Chain A
Amino acid sequence: MKTGRCFVLAAVMAITATSPGWSADRLKLSSTTSTDNTGLLAYLLPKFEEKTGIKVDVIAVGTGKALKLAENGDVDVTLVHAPSSEKKFMDAGFGVNHQTIMANYFVIVGPESDPAGVRAAGNAEDAFKKIAASGSPFVSRGDNSGTHIKEQSIWKTVLGDLPTGKSWYLESGKGMGETLTIADEKMGYTLSDSGTYLKYSDKVDLKMLFTKPSDLLYNPYGIMAVNPEKQPHVNYAGALKLIEFMASPEGQKMIGGFEDKFGNRLFTPLVMGK
């Protein structure tokens, strides 16, 4: 009985031993589910760590929350994809050193049978119109992510208003991957960044139905450091190093060379050749 007690006590003490705290060689990055789910960060960050000795902790949330965490000073640097929100963030003085580093396209995905006839659409607005007209389920991220912001702006253009409350319009409130799963189960349509869809293409029966590159569906990613004047405690030096790495020829080359297991290139580097 005594030994049992001692053992429990020892175990508890061993486990409650202090955890490693934060130090200058750790950097907190809030990022979007698309950069995390595609595996891009897992591929880039070890290289960055090797070069600089800085350990990056990724907090993957939607663009809205990623920016909120940066605004609150809970992270040091943020990587998102919603140019309009990024501009607001910078204009309000929350961020510094904004750098647009890469891009891909949004694609409209849906069931193979394509009841709305999206394949025949001439442009993205037309595709959205067809979905609305057919009443086929459309699954929205509904989480204030970059993809959600983009989708809302398209609906506003096409319908003049958001289709919230319509029986065919479902808001998942989840990340891109889960939203694809829901759209798949519901045999519905959704707007996805091409990277996440390609990564998931073997897990869902959804097909890319509309992939014509257009200005409307262009999806650039921007990285920003949290303004150290607003949040003096942030690891600003580390944040700058990360931005520099992402925009460096080496980082850009890695981004351009990043492929999923099917050999699809998921992101186009943007800084190269500038």
Chain B
Amino acid sequence: MNYLFEAVKGALVLIFTFDPEVVTVTFLSLRVAISATFIAAVLGVPLAYFVATREFPGKGAVLTLFNTLMALPTVVVGLFCYSFLSRKGPLGFLDLLFTPSGIILGDIILAFPLIVGLTIAAVNAVDPRARLTAVSLGATPRQASLTILAEARFGLMAALFNGFGRVVAEVGSAMMLGGNIKGFTRTITTSIALETSKGEFAFAMALGIILLTVALSVNMFFRRLQSRNRL
């Protein structure tokens, strides 16, 4: 019990003294997770909208595929990307391995199916009359689709949260693609793995508490946005 208390105390000291190491890894974690979520959303939301609102042969298979990819193990993504980004792989010349961009790439692949799957569900949940109303009021197809997305905004937010949550918390792919390089590709989760391996449980615990705090703050920020946006 004493040990837990020490860890919490250590965490508070690290947070409030703005320990440079902690600030660096926290910032990188945020940068990577937000970038990956943002890019995955830009690519995924239009695709999800398209899949949700059109009928085409093989749609069932596409939905099943995205639902399956939601459960993609992070180490598999890490391994897969490593074999592409390694110098002996086809994309070695891009020099992305062991860089923050490499981690972001892996995280986009992790967040993408989750965001697509949940956005499809959110768009499907919108009352079909919303579209009809918009069109009858003279909306262009683009305006109509924006209306639907606006109606689905809570589901959409949930999709983005989940995407962000998944990538900010994953360690498998960040470790393989980033290499846990001090001050360069060390994220909160790879730091926790390292400190645990070094037996520095208190420091690892402190980082864990910071990770939870970060997730909580981001969530609260979005919740406030949501509540202000209520119609």
Q: Which residues of A contact B (CB under 8 A)?
A: 1, 4, 8, 11-12, 15-16, 19, 21-22, 28, 33, 37, 42, 57-60, 72-74, 174-175, 177-178, 180-181, 200, 203-204, 231, 233
Contacts and interface: CB of A to CB of B under 8 A. Distances in A.
B173 interface: no
A59 B179 contact: yes
B97 A19 contact: no
Interface stretch (B27-35, B51-59, B62-70, B131-139): B27-35
Contact of B87 (A73, A174, A200): A73
Interface in B183-199: 184-185, 196-199
B197 A178 contact: yes
A226 to B, nearest CB: 10
Contact of A181 (B87, B185, B199): B199
A248 B99 CA distance: 30
A177 B99 contact: no
Given A12-B38, A19-B101, A59-B179, A178 B87 contact: no
A1 B229 contact: yes
Contact of A19 (B87, B93, B99, B196): B99
A33 B197 contact: yes
B20 to A, nearest CB: 14
A4 B180 contact: no
24 contacts: A1-B225, A4-B225, A4-B228, A16-B31, A16-B39, A19-B99, A19-B101, A21-B95, A22-B95, A37-B197, A57-B179, A57-B182, A60-B180, A72-B88, A73-B87, A73-B88, A74-B97, A74-B98, A174-B197, A177-B197, A177-B198, A180-B199, A203-B199, A233-B87
**A contact patch SS:** mixed
Interface string B85-99: 011100011010111
Contacts of B30: 15
A22 B99 contact: yes
A20 to B, nearest CB: 8
B93 to A, nearest CB: 8
A11 to B, nearest CB: 7
Given A12-B34, A16-B35, A200-B199, 13 more contacts: A11-B34, A12-B38, A15-B34, A16-B31, A21-B99, A37-B197, A57-B182, A59-B179, A72-B86, A74-B86, A177-B198, A181-B199, A231-B87
Interface string B190-218: 00000011110000000000000000000
For the complex of A and B, the 7 pairs showing the least CB-CB separation, nearest first, are A73-B87, A59-B179, A203-B199, A57-B181, A16-B35, A15-B31, A19-B100
B188 to A, nearest CB: 15
A204 B98 contact: no
Contacts of A59: 98, 179-181
Contacts of A28: 98
Contacts of B92: 73
Which of A8, A19, A37, A73 is packed against the most chain B CB atoms within 10 Å? Answer: A19
